[in-house]
Chain A
Amino acid sequence: MLSGYYQAFLDAVVGSDPRTLGAYLEDRALVSNAIVYRNTTFRGAADALSTAYPAVARLAGDAYFEHVAIAYVEASPPRQRSLVGYGEDFADFLETAPGIAEAPYLADAARLDWAWLGAHRAPSQISLAASDLAVLRPERLAELKLKLHPSVRLLELRWGVHDAWKHNRNLAPAIAQEVLPSRQHVMLWRPAHEVETQVLSPAEALFFQLLDGGSALGEAAQTALAASPDFNTTLVFAGALEASVFAGEQPDLDLKREEWW
């Protein structure tokens, strides 16, 4: 029966119990060949992880990454029929992985790798240009609710790992990088084909989080300014426009443009 065969095969290949599979073979002695499938299955998922998390793989070193990747595959095997999206909660897994105490910033490096991948494969969309805002009366700008580009990812990390992450991500020659336990805000986005990253001040991070949550520009700017008197709305907003952080399609702008005419 096919159903019995499936189970016997899985027992041997996934469960390391080859006893029942032997009955389905012409030559029971060759049941040991089932290890080929086991290796490919675990190897394939672990390779997908090292592709998704290249900086973690480099920061962790081959031996530790291999060890922790296989443990992750056993705990959270792939469930989708494509490995491109595999490894979503690898950062959380790393938080409590055995041996992680030696490099506790790896989980945050994994968050950066995952956000990079998310930005990389996010829907393609043109960005808002400064000239698009020309249709708006300047005094209405504060009321505008702007959507961030679909590739934008905002991260709040417990370790200041961005520079070490970026260095290793770019396959630059290994250099010793000190990673300190200090809160760090990072934005990642993909204006065209390349993923960009920027470390944000807490007030800047608050500003973009509020915009992402649907706040109007003026309200987000005031809250950011209240959090930090150094926050320069004009500079931050102009910089973000220049860096293509806002989506090209802006329903609220279309609405306000109609009012103008």
Chain B
Amino acid sequence: MTPLASPPPLPPRAGIGLKPDHYRAILDCAAEGLWLEAHPENYMVDGGPRLAWLEALRSRHPLSFHGVGASLGGPDPLDPDHLKALKSLIARFEPAVVSEHVAWSAAGGRYFADLFPLPRTDEALCWLAERIDAFQMALGRAILVENPSVYLPLKSEMDEPDFLVELCRRSGCGLLLDVNNVFVSANNTGFDAGAYIDAIPGHLVGEVHLAGHEADARKGASLLIDTHGAPVAEPVWALYERLISRIGSRPTLIERDANIPAFETLMAERGRADLALARQVELA
């Protein structure tokens, strides 16, 4: 039997979240180093144009799968239908990276289509590590897990960086560090975002996310919502610079899921991240 060739890794460049609005523009775009990230759940269909588009785009750009439906921290067993569909997409599209979330999103057979938080307790850590291990075994590959955006100050036994580092140690997963989530959580639950960024060991970080947030309509700036519906905020860019100047270049995604801008606007934001990454390469 011929061993399967592993897909090439993501370049240490800036990528964008894949949106149907931009399919055509991406196909016509020759930007060097551009990579794409898709939610595999949006491609869990039997056939048709959506898969055809992904195939066409995948033939030109590296791809990352960013899952939202696994509910790794949840009470329900891992969903066999979801795993089967995910494995089949991975086999077909050979993404360079597969990631998921430190969160839960299903219970009692119901799917909430949101990322619910977990308290950072030893019990939650054990459960999550066990589940990430089972998920990775089922997929036959290691994953990255993303730090959550937090709206509730849950009673916890450890800080988030310690929780995440221990999670990686126990399960063998890596981190997808979402800098906007760090900023939003720090604002909402009162910790020092800079200290958090400094506490994350660079070798664990396989990918970085940058996204925009918006103030809650009722509570204002005391409650920031991770809407992915706005440009990346300046303080988040500052945290990002702080991160990569310490750990070096990492594949970095501009994540935009709402108020989708024109392709050129999104690519301009992507260009800013790409420039910051290029500077790190020059410095190194």
* Chains A and B bind each other: yes
A229 at the interface (CB under 8 A from B): no
Q: Are B223 and A36 in contact (CB under 8 A)?
A: yes
A95-122: which residues lie under 8 A (CB-CB) from chain B? Answer: 120-122
Interface residues on chain B, number (Cβ under 8 Å): 48
- Residue in A77, A81, A151 whose beta carbon sits within 8 Å of that of B82 in the complex: A81
Assembly CA distance A22 to B152 (angstroms): 10
Nearest CB in chain A: distance from B107 CB, A: 6
B259 at the interface (CB under 8 A from A): no
Residues of B contacting A41 in the complex (Cβ-Cβ under 8 angstroms): 112-114
Q: Between A and B, how many residue pairs show CB distances below 8 Å?
A: 120
Q: Are B114 and A44 in contact (CB under 8 A)?
A: yes
Report if A36-B155 is in contact (Cβ < 8 Å); known contacts: A79-B111, A82-B44. no
Residues of A contacting B216 in the complex (Cβ-Cβ under 8 angstroms): 36
Residues of B contacting A14 in the complex (Cβ-Cβ under 8 angstroms): 112
A247 at the interface (CB under 8 A from B): no
Is chain A's binding surface mostly helix, strand, loop or mixed?
helix
Q: Mark A220-252, 1 if CB is under 8 A from B, else 0.
A: 000000000000000000000000000000000
- Residue in B69, B74, B109 whose beta carbon sits within 8 Å of that of A82 in the complex: B69
Q: Are A26 and B153 in contact (CB under 8 A)?
A: yes
Q: Are A81 and B79 in contact (CB under 8 A)?
A: yes
Nearest CB in chain B: distance from A132 CB, A: 21
Binds A, one of B46-54, B164-172, B247-255: B46-54
Assembly CA distance A18 to B71 (angstroms): 22
Q: Which residues does B use to contact A, with CB under 8 Å?
A: 41-42, 44-52, 69-71, 74-75, 79, 81-82, 85, 104-107, 109-114, 116, 118-119, 121, 123-124, 127, 151-155, 188-189, 216, 219, 223, 225
A37 at the interface (CB under 8 A from B): yes
Residues of A contacting B42 in the complex (Cβ-Cβ under 8 angstroms): 82, 84
Q: Are A6 and B107 in contact (CB under 8 A)?
A: yes
Q: Are B41 and A34 in contact (CB under 8 A)?
A: no
The 6 closest A-B CB pairs, nearest first, are A81-B69, A124-B47, A121-B45, A82-B41, A44-B113, A81-B82
Nearest CB in chain B: distance from A260 CB, A: 31
Q: Which one of A34, A77, A81, A121 has the greatest number of beta carbons of chain B within 10 Å? A: A81
Assembly CA distance A83 to B44 (angstroms): 9
Nearest CB in chain A: distance from B190 CB, A: 9
Residues of B contacting A26 in the complex (Cβ-Cβ under 8 angstroms): 153-155, 189
Q: Are B121 and A79 in contact (CB under 8 A)?
A: no
Residues of A contacting B50 in the complex (Cβ-Cβ under 8 angstroms): 120-121
Assembly CA distance A80 to B69 (angstroms): 9
Residues of B contacting A36 in the complex (Cβ-Cβ under 8 angstroms): 151, 216, 223, 225
Q: Are A78 and B41 in contact (CB under 8 A)?
A: no
Residues of B contacting A125 in the complex (Cβ-Cβ under 8 angstroms): 47
- Residue in B75, B81, B124, B189 whose beta carbon sits within 8 Å of that of A81 in the complex: B81
Q: Which one of B109, B113, B216 has the greatest number of beta carbons of chain A within 10 Å? A: B113
Residues of B contacting A40 in the complex (Cβ-Cβ under 8 angstroms): 113-114
